[in-house]
């Protein structure tokens, strides 16, 4: 008997995902009926985006797992009506590759001082070559699927990379720190700081005035993680005081960022509209199909969220 897979995301996403998901499920050997509507009690798996409108999972009495289309799960992880395994999106070929490219691009922008030439074509011959990557220390908070990949790419370019995570790690090319003590050392060596932490009760407002003060003078902050990792007012104060040189922000407490938000006109802030990396249907469909195949075969599913930890 086929399993029923409900695709629950914004309706415009169906066009993008239908073919890749059907193909990937067939290639994985999963006998599935892929639908966008179904009586809840007939659904085995939900391919889920938190903005799909489904908030009460109780009517899905046969549900075996929820497969999140996004890496971040803060909008669903605490849902008390969800009592089945929740997988988040980890997709090396698509989501991770996109993040590596975005982070590398923005690190290089600041490292090379590209703005001086791109924005300053005013007849002045500005001599002086930028330093080498080996002279610019990068710290990445969060060494998960995305942080570790970005760290390895930056280390490969020659940047001395420090990373910080909850648990201890060993990753080639990255000086790995962990725990509450590790964060202060990691910040102290962050000429460029990249935030790739999930939003949890422990990480919310982690980058407050005290932690910003630990950054070296003239540091740059790049945040493709989540907006609420940062105390916005403290960030603006640190930029205004000249302690921080620039902040490139992709994610915000409120999205879209309201037109009157002080980040928009701030000369030391670059706003990008939550585009650092998105889930790419063809490769993400293969990740989802493989996870459903695993569940049906009684094998452990991959990328399961720890509901206690919150990510």
Residues that bind ligand NAP (CB under 6 A): 71-72, 90, 95, 142-147, 164-167, 196-200, 202-203, 224-226, 250-251, 274, 276-277, 311
CB of 236: closest distance to ligand NAP in angstroms? 20
SS3 298: coil
Residue 256: asked if its preceding bond is cis (omega within 30°), the reply is yes
Catalytic residue chosen out of the listed positions 106, 110, 226, 286: 226
Does 226 qualify as catalytic in the annotation?
yes
In the residue annotation, 214 being an active-site residue is answered as: no
Residue nearest to ligand NAP (CB): 144
Q: Say which DSSP state 40 is in.
A: G
CB 187 within 8 A of CB 193: yes
Name which of 298, 284, 292, 309 is nearest 13 in CA terms: 284
Q: How far is the CB of 114 from ligand NAP (least distance, A)?
A: 21
Pairing of strands 174-178, 161-165: parallel
Residue closer to ligand NAP, measured from CB, 168 or 240: 168
Q: Least distance (Å) from ligand NAP to the CB of residue 7? A: 20
What minimum distance in Å lies between the beta carbon of 115 and ligand NAP? 22
Nearer to ligand NAP, 65 or 140 (CB): 140
CA separation for the pair 162, 43 (Å, rounded): 44
Written as six digits, the tokens of 59 are 């009517």
Q: For residues 305 and 131, what is the distance between their CA atoms, to the nearest angstrom?
A: 41
| Given the residues 243, 274, 280, 294, the one annotated as active site | 274
Backbone angles phi, psi at 187, to 5 degrees: -70, -35
Q: Which is nearer to ligand NAP, 50 or 144 (CB)?
A: 144
Q: Which is nearer to ligand NAP, 92 or 115 (CB)?
A: 92
Q: Would you please indicate which residues are annotated as catalytic (active-site) residues?
A: 226, 274
């Amino acid at each position: 008997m086929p399993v029923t897979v409900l695709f629950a995301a914004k309706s415009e996403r169906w066009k993008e995902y239908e073919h890749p998901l059907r193909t990937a499920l067939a290639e994985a050997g999963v006998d599935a009926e892929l639908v966008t509507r179904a009586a809840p009690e007939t659904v085995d798996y939900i391919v889920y985006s938190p903005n799909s409108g489904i908030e009460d999972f109780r009517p899905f009495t046969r549900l075996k797992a929820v497969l999140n289309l996004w890496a971040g799960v803060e909008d669903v992880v605490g849902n008390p009506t969800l009592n089945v395994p929740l997988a988040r999106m980890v997709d090396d070929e698509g989501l991770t590759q996109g993040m590596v490219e975005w982070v590398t691009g923005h690190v290089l922008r600041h490292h090379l001082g590209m703005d001086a030439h791109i924005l300053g074509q005013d007849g002045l011959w500005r001599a002086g070559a930028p330093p080498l990557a080996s002279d610019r220390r990068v710290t990445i908070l969060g060494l998960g699927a995305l942080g570790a990949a970005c760290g390895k790419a930056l280390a490969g370019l020659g940047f001395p990379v420090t990373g910080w995570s909850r648990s201890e790690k060993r990753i080639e090319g990255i000086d790995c720190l962990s725990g509450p003590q590790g964060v202060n050392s990691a910040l102290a060596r962050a000429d460029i700081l990249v935030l790739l932490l999930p939003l949890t009760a422990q990480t919310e407002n982690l980058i407050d005035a005290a932690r910003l003060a630990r950054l070296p003078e003239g540091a740059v902050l790049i945040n493709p993680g989540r907006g609420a990792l940062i105390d916005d007012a403290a960030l603006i104060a640190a930029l205004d005081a000249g302690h921080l040189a620039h902040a490139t922000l992709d994610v915000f407490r409120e999205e879209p960022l309201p037109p009157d938000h002080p980040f928009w006109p701030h000369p030391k802030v670059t706003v990008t509209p939550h585009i650092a990396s998105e889930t790419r249907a063809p490769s993400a469909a293969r990740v989802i199909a493989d996870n459903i195949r695993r569940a049906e075969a009684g094998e452990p599913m991959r990328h399961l969220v720890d509901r206690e930890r919150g990510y």
